[in-house]
Amino acid sequence: MPQLVQITMPNPQRPPAIEELHVLWITAGLGCDGDTVSITAATQPSLEDLVLGLIPGIPKVHFHNPVLAYENGNEFLDFCYRAAEGRLDPFVLVVEGSIPNEKNKTEGYWAAFGTDKTTGQPIPTCDWIDRIAPNAWAVMAAGTCATYGGIHAMEGNPTGCMGLPDYLGWEWKSKTDIPIVCVPGCPVQPDNYMETLLYLLRQAAGTAPMIPLDELLRPTWLFGQTVHEGCDRGGRYEQAEFADEYGSPLCIVKLGCWGPVVQCNVGKRGWMNGVGGCANVGGPCIGCAMPGFPDKFMPFMDEPPGAKLSTSAVSLYGNTVRALRGFTQASMNREPVWRSPDVSLAPTGAP
Ligand code: SF4
Ligand code: SF4
């Protein structure tokens, strides 16, 4: 019988697997470093797992974040210079904080880091992004400030700041044809960020297809559902049990929860190692992961306009089924009668 021999042909469409990769993180946008602090709480995977090389099948990672790095001053800046000059190849550029509009004034700067070696002048964050992004294997925006502008971009701010897709362009792609990858959240949910980075690392290793992103450049598998759809209090909403004061275990929609319309998986995922998560623990969802945040969700803690209508509609159904479920529950809380010591109640055929 002839032997079957499997021949693996090289795929010219697939780029060679990357064995070693740098992650270069810039925290000098208009931000609070909260996203950096947040990812130190990740567990799926943890930052430690990543940098210690404990995850098989991904490139070795060199992680450069100015808040977490041992290097500081010019020693840290050297990574940025190398990235800008094409000497840090390949790398993922991560931007934290919103990007100011440096063109909306005649002098000064809104955000900068490092000083120009020849002029001695601060180097605006925008200049760094302009120099570094074209050389990146992929570019990520971490947190709502970097993705869509966030708190700093709210109405009336003088900086004219914006998210990275507004700055680079929504159609912008890295030199490897990867769109900007946005992971919003204020701050970013720790595992949402690390899981997305892990996906990109698998893509770099050649074991994952192009990262699936929605029209707002968010990973589809993380932002496809609403908070409400994964909330611990969803059953309370369905039965029209609405809290009118803090500290209640009931649904907090009347206290300002926007969960029914906000795309965020924190209701399901929790915050740290599966524990916590805004509405689950009594904090109304204020839409911090949405492009309309914060302006469109203010004033915080007020009942959302649509909630008045939806809770009125739900109340008719919820109050009725809650009453009916009460009857059923009372019955289910009683043992069947034939378990009684009274033999006359025993099932037919019993001795
Ligand atoms: Fe939905 Fe918010 Fe109520 Fe949870 S607390 S069930 S997310 S409205
Ligand atoms: Fe932000 Fe709401 Fe998600 Fe909490 S549940 S992280 S407030 S979008």
β-strands 138-142, 122-124 pairing: unpaired
**288-303: average pLDDT:** 96
Once rounded to an integer, what is the mean pLDDT over residues 223-229? 97
Q: 285: buried, middle or exposed (CB in 10 Å: 19+, 13-18, 0-12)?
A: buried
Asked whether residue 40 falls in the same domain as residue 90, the answer is yes
- Please indicate, yes or no, if residue 285 is contained in any of the structural domains: yes
257 Cβ below 6 A of ligand 2: no
In a domain, residue 349? The reply is no
pLDDT band at residue 347, thresholds of 50, 70 and 90?
Answer: low
pLDDT at 15: 72
Task: Give CA–CA dist 256/227, Å, rounded.
Answer: 13
Q: Are residues 81 and 213 in the same domain?
A: yes
Measured in Å, how far apart are the chain's first and last C-alpha atoms? 68
- CATH number, domain with residue 208: 3.40.50.700
For the Cβ of 251 lying below 6 angstroms from any atom of ligand 1, the answer is: yes
The total number of structural domains in the chain stands at 2
* Domain limits for position 57: 20-222
In a domain, 104, yes or no: yes
Contact present, 197 and 92 (Cβ < 8 Å):
yes
- Domain contains 50: yes
Mutate to test the pocket of ligand 1, among 236, 237, 241, 297 (most ligand atoms within 8 A of CB): 237
Query: Do 124 and 246 fall into the same domain?
Result: no
Residues 149 and 76 in one domain: yes
Lowest mean pLDDT among 12-16, 199-203, 266-270: 12-16
- 297 within a domain of the structure (yes/no): yes
286 CA → ligand 2 middle, Å = 6
Residues 248 and 327 in one domain: yes
For the segment 23-33, what is each residue's pLDDT rounded down to a tens digit? Answer: 999 998 899 99
Give SS3 for 138. Answer: strand
Name the residue at shortest CA distance from atom 7 of ligand 2: 285
